[in-house]
Amino acid sequence: MRQMVGMLTVLCLFIWSGMIANPETAQAAHISEGEFAKWVEMLKKKQYQEVRVALEAGMKKDPSNPRAHFYLAEACRGLKAWACAEEHYETSLELEATSTVAGSAKPRLSKVKVWQLLDEAKAWRLLDEAKGLITGGKASPDRMKQAEETLDTANEIGLNDEQQAVYQRLLAKLPQRRSTGSPNMLRTDGLAGERGQAGTQEVPMALVPAGEFTMGSNLADDEKPAHHVYLNAFYMDKYEVTVGQYAKYLEVTDMEEPPDWNIMNQPQHQKRPVVNVDWDDAVMYCKWAGKRLPTEAEWEKAARGTDGRIYPWGNEAPTRLHANYGRKEWNNHLALVPVGSFEEGRSPYGIYDMAGNAWEWVSDWYDYDYYKNSPRRNPIGPTTGEAKVVRGGSWLYVPEFLRSAHRFTAQPTNRHFGYGFRCAKTP
């Protein structure tokens, strides 16, 4: 019932809010408004299979129509064909981003709602996959481990009440959960807060070995010259600090909440990066966690490794499989995605989201010409300055800012929707 209500809500948005293509555009696309109206009626009557067949046939002549992909996703959603729904929600968004509406600056799709439906379909697909692993065939240790990892991924996306109930039932069928302690999990015993409690939690970190790497590039003046830098070994958080982690910190320390904290600190955002934090906020959190902010050099090595690659994943231009970027509005924190959502965007050390999602504060002051005379071993930036460095781009910005060598500046007191952070630690 909840699915049908959500489906009809989006259909109403498309039909009555004026966010659909005009008849001339539809005619040029070889799909008539009459066909679209027919499909809407069939969806309302839950004739999902018939709509799916009709749309799959229709898209053979017009594969680039975003509305057609959206309605096909809705039909697949009604059939609980989650992989199909996920594929076509995503395609509809990609096509919508490159299409225009004749005579109107408004988009044809309610993008925020489609993003939510995409996340929901993805979570259902993962839950189904985990169920198949748990109940189908021999319950081997490898299958159970895979099922557990699949459930963890689904939970990180964010689950609605119905999905959460399924998640808990499947979790109960697993053998005893594996220990969270591992070589890449560091126990961080933070500084005692004002309530006399310590910020103790298990946080996954990646070891970045000692050695040289190429820092900078020849693509921007403040990145020149590209030069070799030697760094001692260090640990870096695998994920950006999340809203949930920051909430625990605030509870223990009674520190000042960032702007719009009541909007961020909602159940659906707990796995998304915290933003609206300034440089001092980031420094204090890392100290509480028994860590520190990374230096600019440490951040860049953790992002690009030692082979001089352009992005964390390599030299391939960014896509939506690599990073979260190019959104238009913060939209009450929905512009950000749960940390660790992009397997194909990981750095050489298995670190997530070092491109997009949230800009990340580092410890260094910014100096436009710093690379011309910076130390070749363990540089820590200028001793003074007017602005701090942030790295990695965010949900808002264009692909150019996702390059691992790209440098950006911010006043240390700035608290914006795009500014977050992660922590580092000396072994």
- Domain total of the chain: 3
Cα dist. 333→112, 204, 267 in Å?
Answer: 11, 24, 12
The model's confidence at residue 137, banded by pLDDT at 50, 70 and 90, is: low
pLDDT at 201: 52
pLDDT at 153: 84
Instruction: Tell me phi and psi for residue 115, to 5 degrees.
Output: -60, -45
User: Looking at the structure, do residues 195 and 326 belong to the same domain, yes or no?
Assistant: yes
Q: Which pair of tokens denotes residue 44? A: 């309302």
- 152-194 pLDDT tens trace: 888 766 667 688 788 888 888 887 654 333 444 444 434 333 3
Q: How much is the pTM?
A: 0.58
* Domain span at 46: 2-109
Distance CA 419, CA 416 (A): 6
Angle between helices 66-78 and 2-16 (to 10 degrees): 160
pLDDT, the chain, mean = 84
Q: Is residue 198 part of a domain?
A: yes
End-to-end CA distance of the chain: 53
User: Looking at the structure, do residues 158 and 213 belong to the same domain, yes or no?
Assistant: no
- 74-86 pLDDT tens trace: 999 999 999 999 9
Q: What is the CATH number of the domain that holds 358?
A: 3.90.1580.10
Does 336 or 190 have the greater pLDDT score? 336
User: Looking at the structure, do residues 235 and 277 belong to the same domain, yes or no?
Assistant: yes
CB 419 within 8 Å of CB 277: yes
The model's confidence at residue 117, banded by pLDDT at 50, 70 and 90, is: confident
Q: Is residue 243 part of a domain?
A: yes
User: Looking at the structure, do residues 303 and 369 belong to the same domain, yes or no?
Assistant: yes
Nearest to 346, CA basis, from 384, 312, 380, 306? 312
Q: Is residue 368 part of a domain?
A: yes
Q: Which pair of tokens denotes residue 284? A: 């204090």
Distance CA 116, CA 86 (A): 11
Q: What is the mean pLDDT of residues 107-134?
A: 81
User: Looking at the structure, do residues 192 and 147 belong to the same domain, yes or no?
Assistant: no
User: Looking at the structure, do residues 167 and 240 belong to the same domain, yes or no?
Assistant: no
User: Looking at the structure, do residues 369 and 398 belong to the same domain, yes or no?
Assistant: yes
User: Looking at the structure, do residues 202 and 308 belong to the same domain, yes or no?
Assistant: yes
Q: Is residue 179 part of a domain?
A: no
Q: Is residue 414 part of a domain?
A: yes
Residue 24 has pLDDT above 90, yes or no: no
Single out the residue in 130, 152, 173 at which a domain terminates.
Answer: 173
Q: Which pair of tokens denotes residue 136? A: 């189908």
User: Looking at the structure, do residues 34 and 126 belong to the same domain, yes or no?
Assistant: no
Which stretch of DSSP H or E encloses residue 388? strand 388-391
Nearest to 328, CA basis, from 398, 420, 243, 408? 398
Long-range CB contact pairs, 382-388, < 8 A, 24+: 386/411, 387/411, 387/412, 388/279, 388/361, 388/362, 388/364, 388/412
User: Looking at the structure, do residues 235 and 130 belong to the same domain, yes or no?
Assistant: no
Q: What is the CATH number of the domain that holds 69?
A: 1.25.40
User: Looking at the structure, do residues 20 and 62 belong to the same domain, yes or no?
Assistant: yes
Distance CA 18, CA 29 (A): 18
What dihedral do alpha carbons 158, 160, 162, 167 form, nearest 10°? 20
Q: Is residue 180 part of a domain?
A: no
Q: Is residue 115 part of a domain?
A: no
Q: Is residue 64 part of a domain?
A: yes
Which stretch of DSSP H or E encloses residue 187? strand 185-192
Distance CA 72, CA 66 (A): 10
CB 165 within 8 Å of CB 157: no
Bridge-based pairing of strands 419-420 and 359-365 is: parallel
- 188-231 pLDDT tens trace: 434 333 333 334 356 899 999 999 999 999 999 999 999 999 99
